[in-house]
Structures are given as structure tokens and as C-alpha cells.
Amino acid sequence: MRLRSMLKWVSLGMLLYTLSVMVNTTTSMSIASSNTLTDEQNAHQQALFHKFDQLHTEQVILVTAVNKKTFKGTLQIYNKQNGNWELQIVALPVVLGKNGVGKIKEGDGKTPLGTYSLGTAFGTASKPTGLKVNYQPHTSQDYWVDDVSSNNYNQKVTESGNPNQHWASYERMDNPLYKYGMVVNYNTDPIIKGKGSAIFMHIWRASNRPTDGCIALSEANLLKVLQAIDPAKSPKIRIGTVSAR
């Protein structure tokens, strides 16, 4: 079926998701002009941009799951240039929580919905070239605490001793999946014990293997995202579904 015919039958949300699956490029491109969208699709697009404007940012990392129960989605990056929103990165597949999206508590296996600021980038490897964001190297002595009884809950802690003497549950930050990563500021200010912890963007195990709640990409695509994030634009990550973004 020709793409122009498809545009008559899909909503903007599904259109963007479909394009995300079909296209794999990081070339900057303008948003589809109004003559390629139906009136309804153009209205949905403008509504999405209006939501972006309310975030007080000039860069949005948009993560979209097909629905709340799926672990597969896409990631796009929009930049505001001269008053207009433009796509910088399109079509990056991501995997999400094993139980879908809509996190409400620790250990539920879901990726949180909503809009969040971004924390520091991190990794066990040396800082990649081209990064504008702060980068924090991690070693075997770095941990992220997810023990709900600990005062260190949802915080990174450096500990030279035995971590089992301090916490009942934690993540080792020298995990190969954390060769590169970035903190998503979910449940960080304030920290509410039991609401969920350790939400990152990081390297995936495989394109068909979900996470415990994080957003994961291939290593190459994750590096593209990290290199594109510009702290001068006050970037925000928005996580939603096709029907609710």
C-alpha cells in the first residue's frame, strides 16, 4: 500500500509509530507539512506540539509504546528551532518494561508514564566523544539502591565494602548493560519509598527482550541519543502510548 493511501486511514499517533518502524535515520528533518496530513492528523500533531510547549523545554525525547501492555516502542527526539518543532532523531526502536508501561510501585516491571527531566549520563566505558551532557564513570564499587527500607533508596552510592551488609536489594552499576546509560529522574524529587527506582536509558539485551522498567536501545542507537541530548535546551523525556502522549 502506498504511504499516501495509508495516511488516510491511520491516526497521527499510529502514523508516527509506523514511520518510526519504517525509517531508521538520525538525519534532521522537518515535521511533515500540512499537505501530507489530513486535517485530523494535522490537528493531532499541533496538539502534541502544544503539549511540548507546555513543558518549558526546547528538546523532547518522546518514547511511545503501542499500548500499556506492550514492551516495544520507539524513541524520537524533537528540537524547537526558530519557534517550530522539528524531528532530529526518528525511528529508534526501544524495549520497555516486561509488564508494559504505567509504573506505580517498586518491582512491578513497568516503565513509568509521564514527563521527566534527565539526570547524568554514566557508564563503565570512557566518556564517548560528542557528549554535551555530564558523564559519570562507574566502577565495581558503584551501586543503585532499590531497598525500600533504606535511606539510600533510589540513589547511587559508592561502597568499597560488602553491599549485602548495607542493603537488601541493589543494582550493580558495573553491569555490561550499563556500559552507557542515562538517569531518568523518576521518583527523585522527592523520593517516595516503594514508588519505583533505578529508571535509566541503557543498552538492551536484545530487541525482543524487555527490561524491568527501564528504556533500552541498541548500543549504537543509545550513543546517538546521548550525543543528541543538549542540556542547554532543558531536555525532557516524555513517555506515553500511541493513544495518550
What is the set of active-site residues? 202, 214
Q: What is the pLDDT of residues 65-79, one digit of tens each?
A: 989 999 999 999 999
Confidence at residue 158, expressed as pLDDT on a 0 to 100 scale: 98
Ordered by start, the domain boundaries in the chain are 3-241
Confidence at residue 38, expressed as pLDDT on a 0 to 100 scale: 78
Q: Which contacts of 8-11 are long-range, i.e. CB under 8 A and separated by 24 or more positions? A: 8/38, 11/40, 11/41, 11/44, 11/242
CB neighbours (10 Å) of residue 129? 7
> What's the CA gap between 92 and 244, in Å, rounded?
19
Confidence at residue 36, expressed as pLDDT on a 0 to 100 scale: 59
Confidence at residue 40, expressed as pLDDT on a 0 to 100 scale: 78
Residue 66 CB partners (closer than 8 Å, separation 6+):
17, 72, 73, 241, 242
Confidence at residue 4, expressed as pLDDT on a 0 to 100 scale: 39
Residue 135 CB partners (closer than 8 Å, separation 6+):
120, 121, 122, 123, 127, 128
> What's the CA gap between 74 and 242, in Å, rounded?
10
Residue range 3-241 forms a domain whose CATH class is: mainly beta
Is 220 within 8 Å of 171 (Cβ atoms)?
A: no
- Alpha-carbon 84 to chain mean position: 22
Confidence at residue 130, expressed as pLDDT on a 0 to 100 scale: 96
pLDDT, mean of each 10-residue run, the chain (245 residues): 36 43 38 58 82 94 95 97 93 96 97 98 98 98 98 98 98 98 98 98 99 99 98 97 77
Nearest to 8 by CA among 44, 46, 36: 36
